[in-house]
Structure 1
């Protein structure tokens, strides 16, 4: 018969972080609707990577600009829209002249989705690191001043799947389902050198828009003018919240920004107030729900709020032992639970295996193991952190047959200054074991009866230079 074992863990850890790529501009994408053309500019300057430069250098759709050392972003704008009905959606992006006559911009786009807002997924992270690929995109030479999805209104050319060199600046119509979220990235590659903003018009098209432009896209999303809730990483670039994207437009008389740090319904601080406070900058790691109240020149009040959560690099707090025979496929279960510091969205892998969301692992082998913790928000991943599983027999049979005749803690020699104290059910000390010693089931030379006995294991753990006293108490059975 094989002995059943429980487990005791001591661990030694060092964590390292990875820079996050969760598309800073994407996080504050402007919510748009289909009820009127949107006039805007490509106002980025290529100084922030919206895409992981180690991953997306040449995706077959998006390309680097004309400066060979430039990243993939140059003079960009981000928009987000939500389908209001099932149907067909397209859009026209029209480059507008500068100073009334000169048309200098070369607009391209990439469309990402569909996303389900109810999942709580960090869409801008999976866009930024390449996990989510564009479903429509185009960077062909634009000789009509138009690009988009559907039909080019200048030459009537129907959109087709993107083929480099086709000189078709339009992609296929998009079939949407009500509630789906899409992110639209608009880029200007023609002015990589000067970084000047240039105007364009965005107009939605398609059979859904033709049927009712007020319902084709969910216009209530525009009321969330601060954008969808943001998950960011500690050390990320600042997040700029803007009241200028509100339905008030330029008709602003006064703006007040407030903060509920714990998102518990209590306003903790008035951050800024005044007619000129049309923007507020959130710096890492100031998590909380941010509110804005806008008083218009018509004495109406427009409000919105957004939850911004900053996560840090994951850290390992401890490895807990769980005695769970039900979930074990073996007779010697070593079942553990990984306990991280923080409340990020983590996944875990032990001993080089696959990642899983569940922090519990069953049938972990005794001895030294490793765990890796990854933050699925893109806020970092640990190195392989070693932890030690030390086992003890759940029972022993001191009957002289040479099998399980003695009891001791397995792996005790790997611990620092270990001592094992064995007690009966009434708390009487029967035996003290040190490294290398065992118990034969006797007390003062007298055989003790079959029963449950208890032990306490004391040992020290050297944790980054700080010695932490550890004590473990468990019970086992003597069987005669």
Structure 2
């Protein structure tokens, strides 16, 4: 929002007057502000250095020799307890800063309690304390002040860019809702006619110059061309309805006449126009209230007025708890209360209009989104068990009932539509169907890299979502196990969806892939390591025709490659392993019918 919405009222009427009467470049001459004081001014340089050569005060830093560049000073005193803020409005192309000091002593300012020194790179139209009046999230705003009666403040407004077309000050906060006439203490202004007044259009303001020994009263108005006598006005009170600078001359018997002046400014009073009702799906989709602003304003300028939306008339009247402009309806029927407010004076508003939001309900879909079926002839029934006759149902597979039966695995999506007039509200829910069958181990291989390394591979009849486990170790997704310790092991394969399991017992030992019985004391014998981990192990060695050649037990020193005293030729030989299992049964080790090589 640019400067025009902020300053149009004052600058058009009082440019020559306000620019001088409401600017004090020195702290000692700070302009007093009270409740209805309209502040609209500009800056042009500074007088004395109020910071005595300091290079920094809070966030304000030295620019060209002094902290101040083009400065204006104001003072105010809190009259009640509550939340207080202010908005400093200006042209968005300009760079303004402020510092607020909690003191009435210009010689002992201390550190500011609120401060802004941003460069306005985001082209904001406001800086201040509290909340930007346009409703945007403005980084150039400090936290609200929480004040109590009698606290004095000095406000420095500084223009850094040397390019300024004026600024305005508007106070805000819930303290002005609770105490509209006493939020700021007007006793700091000593003037017969009282402090300057800002009023709303069509509101009558009465200026009272009553003086006990007065002989006569002369009233004058300056509407921008100098003071002119108001004909026929000679009473102690003057009722006015136009903006201007007003002066009264009080004629007294001894010639000690009084002259008093004050400013009265009227802010435009908005009108809220009728708004159309809205129909929306209750699916979390937001209604853009920014589009409703055009209806509410009905041709009025968005630069002069802003529109807010509320859940109750009380909130709309107080300007409190404004709803987000991206409003998400949650009720079948909801009344929205509309407030149109003058940006220049928040006390000028209209909260007379409402509109309805008709929410279209969506079904509560609560069926399972994951279905697992275990069996050889899979079939599954999925979907919503209790359909609503007011809704239509359609599956991604083409069926139009709320509940369907499927015989293939996959993802099935149900769209449910509630149609109201031209609006269709759709809710969607998907279910993943998985058909599972128990795993069946078809084979296990044990590969020996050497006498200490091995690879165990588990093969299944069909693929599936399975997990593999050796003994009581942590399950894994792969059917490959590396370097199992020698001894008896149990391999378990489970269906991840709880559809059964299969187990096999294996024996892992260690043996060399070849030996060289040539009398050099290196690999002269072949033996199996790890037999001590088994109960009554026996190794039986065969040639490739199945002829029994030799037997070894856990205490044997190994086979030297001879049969009945004769040296056997180079070739591959096979072995089997038998042992007593954990049930006390003599058994042959499965998956261990392996071979090795005799080399000479």
Task: Specify the TM-score bucket, using the shorter chain as the normaliser.
Answer: 0.3 to 0.5
The structure with the largest alpha-carbon Rg is 2
Report the TM-score when normalising by structure 1. 0.34
